[in-house]
Structure 1
Amino acid sequence: MSSAPLLRPTTIYLEPAVPGYPRGQQILARYPDATRIEVPSHWNIPGLHGNAGLVHDWVRTKRDVLVLGVRKSFTMRANGRSADWIAPGPANGCAMACAYCYVPRRKGYANPITTFVNIEQTLDFLTDHARTLGPKPEANQVDPADWVYDLGENSDLSVDATLSDNVQDLVRLYRDLNGAKMSFATKYVNRDLLQYDPGGGTRIRFSLMPSRVARIVDVRTTPIPERIAAINDFVDAGYEVHLNFSPVILYKGWRDDYAELFTHLNDTLSARARAQLAAEIIFLTHNEQLHDVNLGWHPRAEQLLWQPQLQETKRSEHGGDNVRYRTGFKGRMVREFRELLARHLPDCRVRYAF
C-alpha cells in the first residue's frame, strides 16, 4: 500500500446530534484539529454534494473530508446472491476511489465516507431481525446453515474500521448471534481486524482482479498481491474468507491475466483456506452518468470500462439504466471464466456468477 494516509480528515461535516453519541465523541476526538461544519443532513451538504467542480478534486475530497451522521432508517432487503439480506451498514461512501463504483452516483461528484454514529440502534435492529427469523430452514447457495447479512453494500468495512469501533462491534455481534453471519467485500487489507476474534461469524470477500487492470481502476486500494497474501492470515484468525472476482472487465489479454491470477492463488492458499473457499463472479456493470463523471477525473479508466461495441443498456432492479455486456456474449464469457477458474484453481467453488 502507499505510505500516504488513506484518510486524514481536515474537514468534518456533522449533523447536530452527532456529539451526543459516544461513537461520535470517539471519532471527533480522533481528529481534534479538523474543521467542524454543522449541517442539517448528511445526505444534502451544499458545496459538497452535487458540486460539479469537485470532480477534479475527487481523490482529495475522499482523503480530506469526513461526514458524520445519524442513521434514520433501518430496512432489510432480500438478496440471495452475496447474502440472504442486505442490511443497514455502519457507513456510506468510501475513502478509496474505484472507477467503477456505483455509490458516487447517489451523491454526485463527491463521495467521502459518511459514518453513522448511532451504532447501538443498528446492532439492536440486526439482532431483532435474526432472532425473529429463527434458524435457517434449508441450505442455499449463500450459506448451508446461517442467515448471511451483507453489511458493506455501500462502503468498505475494512476502511470504516480505521475510523471507529463500529466494525468491531458488528464482528462481536455476529460472533455471538446464533444462526447468523455478517459479510462484506473489501479491497483494503486492515490487519487490525485480525485481533477482533470473529469466531467464524464474519465472512470477508476479498475482491480480486488482474494486477495490471487494478492499478488503473482500483484507485487507492491495497495492491492485489497484498490482498492475496492476507487470505491465509484472515482464515487463521477465525474469518471465513471467500473471493469476489468483481468486476470482471473484458479487454485484450484478459484470459491470460486471469489464468496468472488463479495460478498465483493456487500457489499461495493454505489447505485450511482451500477447505472453506468459495467465490462469486460479477461481470462489469457501468453507468452513463458515472462514465461522464469519470471523464472529469480519470479518463484512462474509461478506456477499459466504457466499451459501447460490447455493451447494452439494461434496467436495474432499482429502476436505473445501466450498461452491461451484451446478452449472449456475456453468457459465453461467463462460461469461459468459470472454465478458466476450474482449470487453474480447482478447489474454488463458485457460489454464483453473472
Structure 2
Amino acid sequence: MLDVRTIFHEAAVLDHPRGRAVLERFPDAERVEVRAHQEIPGLYGNPGGVEDWVRNKRQVLVLGEKKSLSARPNGRSSDFIAPSTSNGCAMACAYCYVPRRKGYANPITVFTNIDRITGYLARHVERQGSKPAPNQCDPVDWVYDIGENGDCSVDALVSDNVRDLVDLFAGIDGAKASFATKFVNRELLGWDPRGGTRVRFSLMPERMAKLLDLRTTPVPERIAAVDDFVEAGYEVHLNFSPVVVHEGWQEEWRELLRQVADGVSAPARAQLACEVIFLTHNEALHEVNLGWHPRAEEWLWRPDLQEPKVSQSGQRNVRYRTPWKRRWVEDLRRLVEQELPECRIRYAF
C-alpha cells in the first residue's frame, strides 16, 4: 500500500511528537521542507502529475498542521464533520471527490497537532449535552465523522492519529466517532473502541469494484471483516456507495446483498444499518481520469443518464437525472428489504 520515499513537511511539524514519530517511521524517506502543506510546487495543481497519479499516492507523504478547527453540522451520515486529522488517500478510487481540491495529486497529508484536535473535539462534545431526540445519524449518540477527507484505516498505517480518536470516543458518553473505509486494517482489531466508533465498510458489486475501487481491499474481504470488527467492540454499518447505474446493475446489487447475508453472522446483521449513495461525478475529475484510467470513465461519465449540478463550492458535477434516479433509489431500497431485511437504511439518495 505504501512505499514512502518523499515526505514534504512544514517546519512546525518537528515541534509535535506526532510529527517526529511519523518521520521516524519512515527513516529512509527524503525530507523536503515546504512553506505550507497545501502549496507544494510540482505536486498540487500540476497537470503533468496525472501521469504519476498512483505513484504519488504510494510514494509521497505530506505533513502539516491543521490551522483552523471546526465541527461542521452534517445531518446525513453524521451529526458533525470533525476537524480533519488528515486528507488524501493512498488508494485510487476513480470516483473519489477528494482530489478535486488538490488538482492532479492526492497523497496522504497527516496533521501532526493531534492534541489540539482531540482537545477541541472533547470540548465540542461537552458543549452539546445529551442528544435531545433520535435522528437518522443515531438514536442516542452525537455522531462525528472523523474521515471525511480520507480513509482512516489507511491513515492508521502512517500515524497514531486514528487510534487517538478511537481512544477519545471510547471514553466519552453520548458521542461516537464514525468513518467509512474500503481497506481492512486488522491492526484496528487490537484497539479497545468500547462501542465508541462506528466503522462503515463501503461496498459495491465486485465487478464494478475491480474497475473503480483501485488499490482497495477486495469486497469479499471487507464483508468477511464485519464479524471480526463487531466482536472487537466496533459498531459496524455498511456504505452502499457509489451506486453506478448500467445495464443489469440491479441484479449485481442483489448478488452483493446475498453475499452480505450469507457472509455476516446473525448478531452482526442485527446491528447493521446502511447508507445508499448514488454516483455523483465531477467534470474536472473526469478530465483527470482520462489521463490515467479512461476505462473507468466509460461507466462514470454517462451524459445519456446524467444531468449537470453545480455544487455549493461552484464545482461542476453531474448526477443521474432526477426522475430516473428517484425510481432507481426505490429499486435499491426494495432489494435491501428483500435480501437483507435486518439492515436498516439510514438514508438513501
What TM-score, normalized to structure 1? 0.98
2:277 equivalent to 1:273: no
Q: Distance in 1 between matches of 2:285 and 2:268?
A: 36
Which of 61, 86, 89 is equivalent to 2:81?
86
> How big is the shift at 1:106?
0.6
Per-residue deviation, 1:336: 0.4
Equivalence map 1:1-354=2 (5 Å):
6-354=1-349
Once residues 18 and 50 of structure 2 are traced to their aligned partners in structure 1, the CA distance between those partners, rounded to angstroms, is: 30
What SS does structure 2 have at the residue aligned with 1:329?
Answer: helix
Distance in 2 (CA, whole Å) between partners of 1:201 and 1:317 is 32
Q: Distance in 1 between matches of 2:317 and 2:71?
A: 24
Amino acid at match of 2:297: E
Which secondary structure does the structure 2 equivalent of 1:17 belong to? helix
Distance across 2 between alignment mates of 1:216 and 1:196: 32
Aligned residue number for residue 3 of structure 1: none
Q: Which consecutive residues of structure 1, in runs of 5 or more, have no partner in the other structure? A: 1-5
Task: Measure the CA separation in 1 of the matches of 2:269 and 2:97.
Answer: 31
Structure 1: how far apart are the matches of 2:17 and 2:266?
42
Separation in structure 1 between the aligned mates of residue 289 and residue 18 of structure 2, nearest angstrom: 34
Q: Distance in 1 between matches of 2:43 and 2:316?
A: 25
Letter of the 1:337 partner, please give it.
L
**Alpha-carbon offset, residue 257 of structure 1:** 0.8
In structure 1, C-alpha distance between the alignment counterparts of 2:177 and 2:232, rounded to whole Å: 16
Query: Matches of 2:148 and 2:316 in 1, distance apart?
Result: 19
- The 3-state SS of whatever aligns with 1:245 is strand
Q: Distance in 1 between matches of 2:13 and 2:257?
A: 45
Q: Which consecutive unaligned segments of at least 5 residues does structure 2 have?
A: none
Counterpart-to-counterpart distance in 2, 1:171 and 1:140: 23
- Whole-angstrom CA distance in 2 between matches of 1:327 and 1:270: 37
Q: Aligned partner of 1:7: which letter?
A: L
CA drift of 1:319 comes to 3.4
| Count of residue pairs the alignment pairs up | 349
1:183 deviation in Å? 0.2
Pairwise CA RMSD: 0.7
Kindly state the Cα deviation for residue 145 of structure 1 after the two structures are TM-superposed: 0.4
Whole-angstrom CA distance in 2 between matches of 1:12 and 1:244: 32
Equivalent residue letter for 1:333: W
Identical positions, percent: 62
Alpha-carbon separation, structure 2, partners of 1:51 and 1:264? 42
Corresponding letter in the other structure for 1:282: I
1:218 alignment partner AA? D
> Structure 1, residues 300-325: CA drift from partner, whole Å, max 9, x if none?
10011000010001122333221000
